[in-house]
Amino acid sequence: MGVVTFGIPIDLANALVEAGGLTGAIETGTYLGSSASVLRDIVPQVWTVGLRDDIYRKAVERVGGRGGITLFLGHSPSVLADLVNKIEGPVLFWLDAHGGTFGGNDMPAGFKQCPVMDELRVISSYPYADESCILIDDARAFFGPMRQHNPDKWPTFLEIADFLRTGDDRYVTVLDDVIIAVPSALRSTVDGWWLQKLEERHGLEAMEARILSLPIHRHRKLSCDSRAACSLSQCAWNWPSASTREEFARRLVVSQ
Ligand SMILES: C[S@@+](CC[C@H](N)C(=O)[O-])C[C@H]1O[C@@H](n2cnc3c(N)ncnc32)[C@H](O)[C@@H]1O
């Protein structure tokens, strides 16, 4: 589960649906159906697949009654292979069927920790793949190993990007812990979404106002050598609650 939006960045998804004329969404890794449900707000059909029977039953109970959401129980590449033969039109793929990215491991033994390359191979056979958009959650897990993962079982970001850029003309980037791959014509949509985010989060005035609102502890200068900053950023990255991020920002400011 991504560390910035804790689910699909639905405003980006919405912008892509509108600009790209996407007609549905396919999610791998249903978990409890939260992203499936918000996706259903923006497209008429959502197909989602989860692997574990007990979680699948909870998701069915939670979102299964909603028209336009179809839940599958199974291994994502196999279910995707069936789906891409049955549906038509450009869609949004939300690939999130990788276990243990938020600490716990809810993967049954015997399954790959990360089936994303198998999923991408199936997607590349979809006749509308070149018009579809692909969002892959948990980008950080493809840049370096996470403690609970076996790195041999995870592709690197470059392997994913190379695959995505072979054959189809795609713009590929990473923002907010999500790997984003869209037809090149939709780059301006992604950039526009991101510039808006920057404005909301880091606009100069917003940053200045935020700094001015922080307490000044002149008498309690915290040490902020590179080791401390590093361990803090590691902490903020792994446990990114809003309060942790605030604390991180506060300490950096206080220590200057
Ligand atoms: C991070 S959670 C998904 C969160 C969900 N997409 C959301 O946005 O709310 C990952 C889920 O993928 C499931 N999963 C892992 N491997 C899978 C596979 N090969 N096929 C289908 N689901 C899988 C896990 O059981 C887990 O419930």
pLDDT tens, residue by residue, 233-244: 333 333 345 555
Which range (88-97, 124-133, 142-151, 168-177) has the least confidence?
A: 142-151
Structure tokens at 89: 């039109």
Compute the distance from residue 183 Cα to the ligand 1 centre, in Å. Answer: 25
Pick the residue with more confidence: 151 or 247?
Answer: 151
Is 223 within the bounds of a domain? yes
Which range (60-64, 99-103, 112-116, 195-199) has the least confidence?
A: 99-103
Range of the domain at 49: 10-196
Is 1 within the bounds of a domain? no
Q: Are residues 21 and 117 in the same domain?
A: yes
Residues 92/12, Cβ–Cβ less than 8 Å = no
Per-residue model confidence as pLDDT tens digits over 13-45: 999 999 999 999 999 999 999 999 999 999 999
Compute the distance from residue 122 Cα to the ligand 1 centre, in Å. Answer: 17
**pLDDT grade, residue 109 (50/70/90)?**
low
Q: Which atom of ligand 1 is nearest to the CA of 102?
A: 1
Give the chain's mean pLDDT. Answer: 84
Compute the distance from residue 162 Cα to the ligand 1 centre, in Å. Answer: 24
Q: Which atom of ligand 1 is nearest to the CA of 101?
A: 1
Q: Are residues 176 and 66 in the same domain?
A: yes
Q: Where does a domain end: 158, 179, 196? A: 196
Q: Which residues line ligand 1 (CB under 6 A)?
A: 1, 7-8, 27-29, 31, 34-35, 49-52, 55, 75-76, 96-97, 99, 101, 106-107, 111, 115
Compute the distance from residue 27 Cα to the ligand 1 centre, in Å. Answer: 9
